Amino acid sequence: MVHVLATLANPHRLRVVAALSRRRNYVSQLARELGISRALLQAHLRKLEAAGLVSAHLEISSDGKAMKFYEVTPFTFDLTPESIAAAVLTLSPQDAVQPDSEKGSPS
């Protein structure tokens, strides 16, 4: 759950999931709809795919061109204090973060 929440913390990735929830799409068209570059979109799609939130399928168009279509993988997360407590148990020491008051202060 921690990985999924971290992945969805980016506004671009939220927009990608929202667009793909309406219909599956290929990279070039999705990039145009979202107003971002294909390279940036592909980076976000890789992260979403690694988190299990989207999947990709290669298809051949009528003119023989390979097109990679993405779609949302159905998911549901029950976000409760108890599920957060369970997720915290999966964190490693490297996942520890400084309290907000200490961010940016020299050590």
pLDDT tens digit at each of 107 positions of the chain: 888 999 999 999 999 999 999 999 999 999 999 999 999 999 999 999 999 999 999 998 889 888 899 999 999 988 999 998 998 888 887 766 645 444 444 43
To the question of pTM greater than 0.85 for the whole model, the response is: no
Q: State how far the Cα of 44 lies from the Cα of 107, in Å rounded to an integer.
A: 33
Angle between the N-to-C axes of helices 38-50 and 27-34, in degrees from 0 to 180, rounded to the nearest 10: 110
